[in-house]
Amino acid sequence: MDAIRALLESQPLFTLFLTVALGYVVGEISIKGVSLGSGAVLFVGLAIGGFAPKAAPPALLGTLGLLLFLYGIGIQYGAQFFKGLTSADGIRANAAAAFGVVGSGCVSLALVPLFGVKLDESLGMFAGSGTSTATLQAIIAAMKSDGAAVGYSVAYPFGVAGPILIIYILSALLKAKIERPPEKLIETAEIAVRNPALNGLRLADLRAKLPAGVVIAAVRREHRNQLPSEDLTLQTDDVLLTTAMDPAVLQDVAALCGEMHPGRMTKHREDLDYARVFASSRAVVGHPLGDLRFPEGVVCSIAHVRRGDADIMPSPDLILEFGDRVGLLVNRAHVKAIRKFFGDSIKGTAELSFISIGAGAAAGLLVGMIPLPIPGIGKLTLGLAALLLVALYLGKTRRFGPFVWTMPLSANLVLRNFGLTIFLAQVGIASGPKFFATVGATGVSFLLYGVVILVALVVITAIFCLWVFKLPFDMTVGVLSGATGNPAILAFANRVAPTERPDLGYAMIFPSMTIVKILFAQIAVALAGG
């Protein structure tokens, strides 16, 4: 054992990645559908740190990991976050979550005078109950102590499992019945014009009569397929290639125009063929579809965009992102030119603009250094919370001049999850010795404190969501997931309420509540005199 301990303490990078590997093995263990996921890395780190007290890698590694995590979150959720701040439901949801976060923070502070808990440990339990690694980092930086990591690690398991249990209880008590919506897949139909009332009608006038969300992608006339133009005058027996998200809507269009007539267009591709390309060129990424200018002489129309696992109907204001798969109707002679225009490179979608990442992160760190005067408290710096705010703004802006701030979704997920893992591993190893000393001295009391803080966070948020602001149940579980923060909670919420609203609630809440938690912790430290 001494030889293993010596190896771990002499090779901190080896120890770091061993912790990551073992942490994910433990994190995949599921007990009745609940698993710790990446959070298990922290506990493995604590165990290794307790066994080999001098094995901790440099703290800068942990800070770098958290920076990558927060930057990725901001870039991905920027648009949803700012949209949520301006919508009625978004304002209510943020207010409900803020009441819950501040309430749980006050409970954690009450532990200091009532039970003699140290401030850094109580704030660490506050961060752990909310599964907020960014808050943990802010507390450690403000107090220059690793006691917060001890409280964090004690409360973290309840921060993951507790909200899942409470969401399950709420679902059972309220008997919420939510039907799973259909998958977001674009439906296509060929519809023949047989309605005499449409003969001689301009295509632009027909579009005004169609239900919302219907797109006419192509027209077949006299055995030739062509792209639609606003001035095209309809004739009897024209065939319209029509797309929509809802097949029932296409039935309504067929009833208006004439009848379904499948096969006539898709079997004849001499004039127009279907091609799918990857958006990887900077000439298209970050630009709205309405601003794209195809190469001279190219006949082309965008039929749909697929992002992640969902189809998106094309619209002039839809902004392309790296990795989008764009479905096109294009003349076969122009396929090569259009592929070059969009880039169409899988490798290209995986390449990141490290200039943009470096500039964005540097700007966030610079803003985080600016001291902000707060009356009665003094001057505070936002630190990495400012980086998150800057990343949210860049994620909303998406592009500025030559800088494309967004990144492929797959790359974003890998980057931020890797960063979070490195942070948890480094903090766990560094905090291991003190963790075991503290738990050995306090017994189960810290565990109970963590439960109380967590229950305050979830119950207060749920009360304001459901009974004060009257938010729908599926939105509420998304808000609870964002207020507590762990993706495992969101995954469970999506099973309980399989609609879009849990994801939307999480996106609107998670960034703002991360900032609220960080600010609460910093203000508490400042009021206590550091």
pLDDT tens track for 420-435: 889 889 988 988 887 7
Residue 476 included in any domain: no
For the chain, give the percent of residues with pLDDT over 90: 31
Residue 333 included in any domain: yes
For the segment 77-101, the average pLDDT, to the nearest whole number, is: 90
Of all helices (H) and strands (E), which one includes residue 258? strand 258-260
pLDDT tens track for 247-281: 888 888 888 888 887 766 777 777 888 899 989 88
Structure tokens given for 356: 């943009």
Residue 330 included in any domain: yes
**Which residues does 461 contact at the CB level (< 8 Å), separation at least 6?**
96, 97, 99, 100, 101, 479, 480, 483
Residue 35 has pLDDT above 70, yes or no: no
Residue 166 included in any domain: no
Question: Virtual CA dihedral for 447, 453, 457, 463, nearest 10 degrees?
Answer: 100
- Nearest 5°: the CA angle 236, 239, 243 is 135
Residue 193 included in any domain: yes
Q: What is the pTM of this model?
A: 0.77
Task: Give residue 350's pLDDT.
Answer: 60
DSSP at 288: B
Residue 337 included in any domain: yes
Residue 306 included in any domain: yes
Domain of residue 224, CATH code: 3.30.70.1450
Question: Domain containing 315: what range?
Answer: 187-348
Residue 349 has pLDDT above 70, yes or no: no
| Closest CA relative to residue 242, chosen from 216, 268, 206 | 216
Residue 507 has pLDDT above 90, yes or no: no
| Closest CA relative to residue 288, chosen from 268, 305, 270 | 305
Residue 487 has pLDDT above 80, yes or no: no
pLDDT tens track for 365-408: 999 899 888 776 667 777 887 898 899 999 998 888 878 888 88
Question: Residue type at 281?
Answer: S
Residue 309 included in any domain: yes
Pairing of strands 399-400, 378-380: unpaired
| Closest CA relative to residue 504, chosen from 89, 73, 180 | 89
Number of domains in the chain: 1
Total number of residues shown for the chain: 530
For the segment 55-75, the average pLDDT, to the nearest whole number, is: 89
